[in-house]
Structure formats: structure tokens, C-alpha cells
Amino acid sequence: MLRFAPAIAIAVLALPVIGGLAGTLLPAFGYLPALGGEDLSLEPFRIVLAQPGLLRSCGIALAAGVVTAAVSTVLVALFVGGWSQTRTFRFIQSLVSPLLAVPHAAAAFGLAFMIAPSGFLARLVSPWATGWDRPPDWLIVNDSLGLSLMLGLIVKEVPFLLLMTLAALPQVPLAASTRLSASLGYGRISGFLFTTWPAIYRQIRLAVFAVIAFSSSAVDVAFILGPTTPSALPVRLVQWMNDPELTSRFMASAGAVLQLGITLAALLIWLLLERLGRMAVMHFCGEGRRFRADRTMRHLTLALIVLTALIVFGGLAVLALWSISGLWQFPNILPDTLTLRGWIRALPQIADPLWTTVTVGLASTALSALIVIGSLARERQVGRAGNRWALFFLYLPLLVPQAGFVFGLKLFLTHSGVGATWAALVLVHMVFVLPYVFLSLAAPWRAFDPRYEAVAAGLGKGPWTTLLAIRLPMLSRAILVACAVGFAVSVGQYLPTVLIGAGRLVTITTEAVALGSGGNRRVIGVYAFLQMLLPFLGFAVAALVPALLFRNRRAMKVA
Amino acid sequence: MPDETAGLRLDAVRIRLNGRELVAVDRHIRPGETLTVMGPSGSGKSTLLAYVGGFLDPVFSGEGRVVCGGRDIAHLPAGDRHAGILFQDPLLFPHMSIGGNLVFAIPQSVKGKAVRRARAEEALDDVGLSGFFDRDPDTLSGGQKARVALARTLMAAPNFLLLDEPFSKLDMQLRGQIRDLVFDKAKRSRLPVILVTHDAADAEAAGGEVIEIGRDAA
């Protein structure tokens, strides 16, 4: 039975991506027999390219991908270099980690509530410092250069890259290199960049690529924070995809292919930047430059990292406050009155999306966890970890822009008569949940002391008893955390839910983003609060269940 | 005339890593006797135990017959070989109570919750740990853990013992005490033992034949 787990995992990851890509490519070239498209043509591309402001839309998507990745990577490298193995580092690590679980849309709303002209930051300094008693007429959120969009992406990608880096750290001799380079007179940051970073970067490279792919094609964040005239390409793409006019499906497919091209271009630009970065590091390293005076740099990096965390946490707190606020006039820092009216008004409509969110999240997580556990157990049996191909399949759904293949999947489902079913939604969520469950569980699973299993086998127990009675309970904490990560990923899914759910299956996230355009802060507050509450509950369960189950077992507590 | 099928026979056992031979053993260990394997760390001496116990890492390749009670067990799954294993660490299952660890080891053929519990309590008495049934393994001292680990191993009625430097992490005083306990139990249960160690005192206490491996590799 275990024998098939890796194959199932690869099928779950690869089939939807490859099938979906085909389902997008063919209509993009005019082939979709169900709608009478029998001949290949470039007409769909001609229509897309004729759209007004298209170049600008593409430029914003491209810039969002490259800038987000560059800023996040540099920030993480400088921070790890400047602060690793300090108490500050551990504190920041625990501060930033929960950010990973906050859905992108909720973080984007939080950011918007902070930095908008009528937002919390402006209120903090008004009117005493600014003289404003009305919000200034500035375009901060939805600015035409997409700066707030990039900021919204950066505050989410920094925690992601930081955690990926932390996972890679144990495999490099960090402490020894730090001491060695310090003894040779190098500054903390330069010593780290010269001796340790290249090895770390090699390990997190796919994650950085995933950041580029996500940032250049993210729909929900661009919808909330991105420019509007014209919107970034991913946003316009979804508008085309949701156009009820059937013939616009050709155009939407061509747009999706264009999106693939934009993401690919962003990746190519990144490869160039990688090379430039490597040359710069090698140049300075070759000159023996010490950069000993890096105090300012270190503290600047620390300040920026703390700022990203504070801005999201602050934003989330402001969101929660808005959901229970009555009148809240500018420039008051706190609401004038508190009321549950927003919640009472929203509750009747919430039940249905909440049910879909929770059941789809639980189902896709449970199935993914089973497949991941099966694959890891099989890996133990055959005695080798997955090779490079396994890692490639794992990252495949994270490297191909969602719009590029989910739309093709949707077309396939629609025209094969499956339509917007709960099961289809669960399957599509699994494509994104499974990689994260695998990535979080693989390290603790592989670190498990195999001698426990040898002992159990010596006591006459078969592989299944050993798995169920020894390994799984001993890894219960890691498994539940991996599940919590998976659940958070499912809750945060916007585009796949919108496309596959097709308006019939809605979740808290799709509702929140849809309501975002309405601009009612109380309603947005309610939905965004639920959006962050659900992942938080997942992690709370993951912490509480083992704590209760093993309350009398000291060695089962977190070290 | 001693029974030639009793005990544990290693028949042309060879273990290789990437074609390089690490271990080559041909021995017959009679009931109650100990074969001690000595060698520097990294010489692959533990892989012999892994091969006999059935948990050899697939990067190694092993061949040769392991005959126990007249039957070649080298191709049986680990769970069917009934090898009692003691490692450097006691490896008590941390999510179970002390009693849970012992009950887990009792063969399935012993039926009835009360009976199984009584067996476990007896085994605890036997190693001087009466009344420890409900204790959390992590609250025990090193010596106490080692004794529970031994009791757990014997509980499963093994056909032979595999000892992988089981005393090396105990402090001097305890080491002798636990060592005597282990060999005493093994002799009394007439179990063949393979001991892997780099401590000459262990080998001496075991009293059996000593073979050295990996000298030329080191």
C-alpha cells in the first residue's frame, strides 16, 4: 500500500499542473472544440495585446515579482548574517514565524488599514504633527507604481524566506564560519556573505523562485493593494476569466499564457541578478574587504524586519478593532464607540463560506497528510530520500503561476461536466497544500531516531504496528504542525477557489476579497479577522492536542 | 555432545559498502555465550548487528546466513526475528508510561489486560523497580532507564541479544552493575549474545570470544 504513496503524491502535484497548462495553452491558440474553436489561430493573443494599458499591467506584475524577491532575499540575508546566534535573532524568529500562517489577503487588508491616508499610522500623527483633521487626498494604497502592492508582498515573503533559511542553517557550519571569519577581521555581515550565504542560497533557491512566481502572479494582494488604472495583469486576468461571455475564454487563456511569460521573464531577470550578486560578493571577497563597520547596517536590517512584523500585526489588530467599531472618525486613534453590529450583520452570510472553508481545508489537509506520511514512510523502506525530481515535483505547483494552470483545469472541469463541486475544490487545494505539508514534515520525519523502530521490530512488531504505535505518536506534534500549515495554506487560497468554486462555492477568503472592493471597513474587518482566526485555531489545536495527550510525558514536550 | 542447531550461527556473513568489505564473520554463538565484536568507530561493527537484527540501512549490502534454532532468518522481516536489542541509549518510548513500554513488548499470545499488566509488574520487580508501572520514562535516572530497557527487551522473549555499546553512556559505577545484570540475565535465559563495543572491560566481562574488525581500514 505504501508502495503507491509517492506515485499518488506525484500525480496530485503534477497531473493538475500539466493538464491545466495544456487546458490553458490550447484555447489560447484558439482550440476549444466545445466552444467551436477547432482551428489554431493567434486571434486570442491579438485581442489580449489590443487591451488598453496592457503594457503597464504587465510591467507592474513583472516588477512586483522581481522587486519583492530582491528586497525579501537581501533583507533575509543581511538579517541572518547580522544577527544569527543572538538572543535578538531567536526573539525575531518567534515574532515572525506566526506571520507565515496569516493569509496573504488578510495581511494585505491589515497593511491597507495601516498605511491608507485615513489609516492607523496617519491617525497616530494627526492632527498634532500633521495638522490634518481630514485624511489627506493621497493615493497610498493602490498607488500607480504598485509600491504598496510590493510592500504587501514583501511583508509576507520575508517570513517565508526567513523560515526556509532557518531550515537550511543546520546543514552549514555556521558557528565555526562565524568565528573563523571574525578572527580574520571580517565584519559579521561580510563574513557571513563570504563564507556561509552561498551554501544557504543554493538550498533556498527554489523557494526564492516560488516567491517570484507567486509575487508576479498574485491576484488577491494585487486586487487589494495594487494599482487600478490599469490593474496589474493577474487582476485583469481574473476579470477576463470570470467574463460570462463564453468567447472571452479564448482571450482569458491567451492572457494566462501571457502571465506565464511574465513570470518566466521575472525568473530570467532574477537569474541575471543572481549572477550580478555573485560577482559582487566574489569581487569584494577577492579584494579581502572586511566591512568591519557594519553596525549601522545591522541595526537598519533589524529595524526593517521588526517593521515588517509590526506593520502586519498592527494591521491585524486594527482590522479586528474595525470589526467591532461603531463610529470611528478621523483622526481619532481609537473608535468612538464599540458595537457588534458588524458581526451581527455579517453572521447570517458567514455560515456558508465558513463551512466551505473549514471542510475543504480539513479534507485537503487530511488527504495531503496521509499521502505525505505514506511517501515518507516509503522513503524509509527503500532507504533513500527523494531525488532532485521529487523536489522538482514538490515545487512545481509553487513555481507555475496559479493563473497559468488553474484556469485550464477549470475549463476542463466545466466542459467535462464536473463543474464546481466540493470534491473538485478539495483536489485543487491539495495541489497547493501537499507541498507545504511535505516541506514542514520532511525534516522532523527524517530526523527521527531509527533505533526506536529497530527496538520495536526486535520486540516482534511489524512495520505497521511500529508506524502506528511508535513513530506517528512520537511525531504527533510535528505532524499536527504540518497539518496546521496545510490548513492555513488552504484557508488562504484565493484564485483556485474563485475559479474552481465559480461563485457557487465561496470561502472566507474569496468573500473577503470580493467585499474588499466595497470598502466597508467593518465588514472587511469581520471577514479578514476570521481569515486570520482560522489558521490561528489550527496552530492552537496543533499545540494543545499533544500537550493534553502527553501531559504526563516530559520528553514529549517542546524542547 | 552439544546441540549444533542451538544458539545463533553466522554463516559467511559479509557486509559491504559500495563494494568495500566492512565485516566478515563466520561464528557459532552457543546459548548463554557472547561473541564480542571490537573495532574503532566508523569500522562498521554496528552494521553487523543491523544485519542480524534486520534493520541494515539499504546503503549497505549484506549477505550470508543467520541461523537461529536451525532456521535461516536473514531474509525474514525484522519483526519476525525476535532479536532483543539494546543500544547506547535506553530508547524508552517517551509517549508511553514505563508499564506501557513493557506491555508493548509482551507477545500478543499473552491475553488479558490484567494478565499482561501483572507480567510487566513482575518484570519491574525483577530489575528492582517495583511500583514504577505508571511512571513517566523521562523522570527516571540513567541507571533506572537502562534497567527498564533490559526488562523490556527480555519481556518479548527474544531468541538472542544484540548489544550495541549499551553501557558506554553510563557512568563508571553504574556500568559494572548494569553489565553484570545484563550478562547474568542472558546466561540464565541461555541467550546467545552479540556485543559490539570498544571498551575492553565490556569484552572481559562478557567472557566470550572477541573478534576485531576494521583495523586495517582505520
User: For an interface test with B, which of A2, A382, A455 has the most B Cβ atoms less than 10 Å from its Cβ?
Assistant: A455
Residue B218: predicted pLDDT: 37
Residue A303: predicted pLDDT: 96
* CA separation for the pair A195, A281 (Å, rounded): 10
Residue A161: predicted pLDDT: 95
User: Which CATH architecture does the domain made up of A42-320 adopt?
Assistant: Orthogonal Bundle (1.10)
What average pLDDT does the structure give for chain B? 91
Residue A108: predicted pLDDT: 95
Residue B163: predicted pLDDT: 96
Average pLDDT score over residue span A264-285: 96
Cβ atoms of A499 and A557 closer than 8 Å: no
Q: Is the pLDDT of residue A266 over 70?
A: yes
* CA separation for the pair B88, A22 (Å, rounded): 56
Hey, is the C-beta of A546 within 8 angstroms of any chain B C-beta? no
Least Cα distance to A225 among A529, A516, A518, A553 occurs for: A516
Cβ atoms of A204 and A164 closer than 8 Å: yes
Do the Cβ atoms of A553 and B94 come within 8 Å?
Answer: yes
- State the residue for C-alpha cell 544577527: A83
Residue A354: predicted pLDDT: 96
Distance from A2 to chain B by nearest Cα, in Å? 16
- Residue A305's identity, in one-letter code, is I
Hey, is the C-beta of A454 within 8 angstroms of any chain B C-beta? yes
Average pLDDT score over residue span A250-275: 96
Cβ atoms of A221 and A152 closer than 8 Å: yes
Do the Cβ atoms of A454 and B78 come within 8 Å?
Answer: yes
- Residue A68's identity, in one-letter code, is T
What average pLDDT does the structure give for chain A? 92
DSSP-derived secondary structure letter, A520: -
Write down the domain spans for chain A.
Answer: 1-23+342-559, 42-320
Residue B215: predicted pLDDT: 61
With cut-offs at 50, 70 and 90, classify the pLDDT of residue A365. Answer: very high
- B95: nearest CB among A449, A465, A556: A556
- A383: nearest CB among B58, B91, B152: B58
Q: Is the pLDDT of residue A559 over 70?
A: no
Q: What is the DSSP string of A290-351?
A: -----HHHHHHHHHHHHHHHHHHHHHHHHHHHHHTBS---TT-SS-SSB-SHHHHHHHHHHH
Cell of A247: 468567447
Smallest CA–CA distance from B134 into chain A, residue:
A552
Cβ atoms of B193 and B159 closer than 8 Å: no
Smallest CA–CA distance from B155 into chain A, residue:
A459
Residue B217: predicted pLDDT: 43
Tens digit of pLDDT at every position of chain B (218 positions): 456 678 999 999 999 998 899 999 999 999 999 999 998 877 888 999 999 999 998 889 999 999 998 899 999 999 999 999 999 999 999 999 999 999 999 999 999 999 999 999 999 999 999 999 999 999 999 999 999 999 999 999 999 999 999 998 888 888 999 999 999 999 999 999 999 998 888 989 888 899 988 765 43
With cut-offs at 50, 70 and 90, classify the pLDDT of residue A263. Answer: very high
Q: How far is CA A123 from the centre of its chain?
A: 30
> How far lies A38's CA from each of A41, A48, A250, in Å?
9, 20, 12
DSSP-derived secondary structure letter, A518: T
A459 contact residues in B (CB cutoff 8 A) = 104-105, 152-153, 155-156
Residue B125: predicted pLDDT: 95
Task: Provide CATH code, domain A1-23+342-559.
Answer: 1.10.3720.10
Residue B216: predicted pLDDT: 53
Q: Is the pLDDT of residue A15 over 80?
A: yes
> How far lies A226's CA from each of A77, A122, A240, A324, A404, in Å?
27, 20, 17, 27, 20
Phi, psi of B84 (to 5 degrees): -85, 120
A465 contact residues in B (CB cutoff 8 A) = 79
Average pLDDT score over residue span A127-142: 87
Write down the domain spans for chain B.
Answer: 8-212
Cβ atoms of A222 and A213 closer than 8 Å: no
Residue B2: predicted pLDDT: 54
Smallest CA–CA distance from A548 into chain B, residue:
B95
Residue A558: predicted pLDDT: 66
Cis check for the bond before A331: say yes or no (omega within 30 of 0).
yes
Maximum pairwise Cα distance, chain A = 79
Task: Provide CATH code, domain B8-212.
Answer: 3.40.50.300
Q: pLDDT per residue over A375-429, tens digit each?
A: 999 887 776 666 677 888 999 999 999 999 999 999 888 888 887 899 999 999 9
Hey, is the C-beta of A282 within 8 angstroms of any chain B C-beta? no
B60 contact residues in A (CB cutoff 8 A) = none
Do the Cβ atoms of A383 and B57 come within 8 Å?
Answer: yes
Q: pLDDT per residue over A457-485, tens digit each?
A: 999 999 999 999 999 999 999 999 999 99
A554 contact residues in B (CB cutoff 8 A) = 136, 138-139
For the CA atoms of A241, A242, A245, A247, what is the dihedral angle to 10 degrees? 10
Residue B120: predicted pLDDT: 96
A54-84 burial, b if ≥16 CB within 10 A, otherwise e? bebbbbbbbbbbbbbbbbbbebbbbbbbbbb
Do the Cβ atoms of B136 and A554 come within 8 Å?
Answer: yes
Q: Is the pLDDT of residue A120 over 80?
A: yes
Q: Is the pLDDT of residue A198 over 90?
A: yes
* CA-based torsion, A358, A363, A366, A372: positive or negative: negative
Residue A529: predicted pLDDT: 92
Residue A97: predicted pLDDT: 83
In this predicted structure, which of A142-146, A149-153, B117-121 has the lowest mean pLDDT? Answer: A142-146
